[in-house]
Amino acid sequence: MSDKLKILAAPANEGGCAYYRIIAPYRKLEELYPDQVEVRWDKNPLGIDEKTGRWQEGWDYENLKWCDVVVTGNLSNFGGNYTARIVGKAKEFDKFVHYDTDDLLTDLYEGHRLYGVYKEKGLSEITKFIYNNSDLVTVTQRKFAERIKPFCRHTLAVIKNCVDYNLPAWNMQRLMTKKNYCRFGWAGGIHHEQDVKYFAGVPQMVNQRAGRENVRWDFYGAPPPNTPEDDWQIEVWKNYKNIIMRGFKGQPNFTINYALPADRYGQFFTNMDIAVAPLEMNPFNDSKSEIKVAECGRYAIPLVASNVGCYDEWIVNGETGFLIDPDKGTKEWVKILTKLAKDKKLRERMGRNLKKITDENFDMNKNVKDRLDLYKKLINE
């Protein structure tokens, strides 16, 4: 191995998961430790023809041969078999293979939009193969690690999600409003239909309890205007809106907002007073990271979340936000959110408390070196 650790970063795509787990942290390693690492970027290290989906004859695997470490994650847009082949080919060249994922891929629940695809293509079994053959598997939290531990033959580690707080999107001014209402915000992706159903009815009941004029709701993540009309994400968000509208009477006091690129995501949180993360209890959701803590806490916004995943590591009721037992459902959500809509001092105090925690624990500039240290330790061993 040369003086510099040579890392081939092969993100699955350019989406949010790939951004937070590979793209942003390895860019940060390049920026902060150029004397210790050299990173090459290649989402297609096996040389598949991206137009035809066929393998190119005579492909020389230059980047795979060049590196010391291959890092990839989740499942490539080229498919599960492609991802598994990255691992297999890297091992053929005797490379250290790091596989990272922030979603539980071995036990998808039936309500997930991709459940049928996973069953049909055997993606759960492919993921187990990848776990078994990687030198290092990393996930985002402890319960996730316990769930996949039986499939991992080598090192399994928890690397928390983190955010590059140096980016402009995380250093903006909070948007102030002349009106004295409480702004609830939900930022979500395209696989949350069950969670939106779980939350259905809550906004309208909070409107009734706190007064419609005292509450605003914002939902972030809808496909932007330039999205092709036949893109399935449009249908997803149409369903979201129909579910959210259920029970609303009179003029809606909510807005559906467009998604932003991952490096501008922080802008959403400048227009919130309370962030909400309703999650149905299932193994997939219970394996989720606390990325919402890292995001909303940066802008001193407390979080109200289902007590699912690892939010319990950071959220203390009445101090940094509230955790809601998923079995209590709508009634408890309405009770807590109504209380916060009426108590500005409480939500501001909790927000300040959460910001202290997030600035210390989720700043990529402070903790990205943990990845480099882990590589050095494991490769030396």
Nearest to 206 by CA among 180, 227, 184, 186: 184
Percent pLDDT > 70 in the chain is 99
Task: For residues 44 and 38, give the distance between their C-alpha atoms in angstroms, rounded to a whole number.
Answer: 18
pLDDT at 342 over 90: yes
The mean per-residue pLDDT over the stretch 197-207 comes to 92
pLDDT at 233 over 90: no
The mean per-residue pLDDT over the stretch 181-196 comes to 90
Contact (Cβ atoms closer than 8 angstroms) between residue 237 and residue 187: no
pLDDT at 52: 85
pLDDT at 2: 56
pLDDT at 1: 45
pLDDT 10s digits, 133-147: 999 999 999 999 999
pLDDT 10s digits, 252-265: 899 999 999 989 99
In sequence order, what are the beta bridge partners of 277? Answer: 305
DSSP string of 333-360, one letter each residue: HHHHHHHHHH-HHHHHHHHHHHHHHHHH
The CATH superfamily holding the domain 5-162+363-380 is Glycogen Phosphorylase B; (3.40.50.2000)
CB neighbour list of residue 165: distance below 8 Å, 6 or more residues apart:
171, 298, 359, 362, 363, 364, 365
Point out the least confidently predicted range of 194-208, 266-280, 329-343.
194-208
Tokens 């393998």 belong to which residue? 55
Point out the least confidently predicted range of 14-18, 220-224, 290-294.
14-18
Percent pLDDT > 90 in the chain is 74
In degrees rounded to 5, what are phi and psi of residue 355?
-60, -40
Confidence of residue 266 (pLDDT cuts 50, 70, 90): very high
Task: For residues 368 and 26, give the distance between their C-alpha atoms in angstroms, rounded to a whole number.
Answer: 8
CB neighbour list of residue 208: distance below 8 Å, 6 or more residues apart:
none
Q: Residue 124 is which amino acid?
A: S
The mean per-residue pLDDT over the stretch 73-91 comes to 94
The two domains 5-162+363-380 and 168-361 share their CATH topology (first three levels equal): yes
pLDDT 10s digits, 54-68: 888 889 999 999 999
CATH 3.40.50.2000 for the 168-361 domain, yes or no: yes
Q: Where are the domains of the chain?
A: 5-162+363-380, 168-361
CB neighbour list of residue 82: distance below 8 Å, 6 or more residues apart:
46, 48, 76
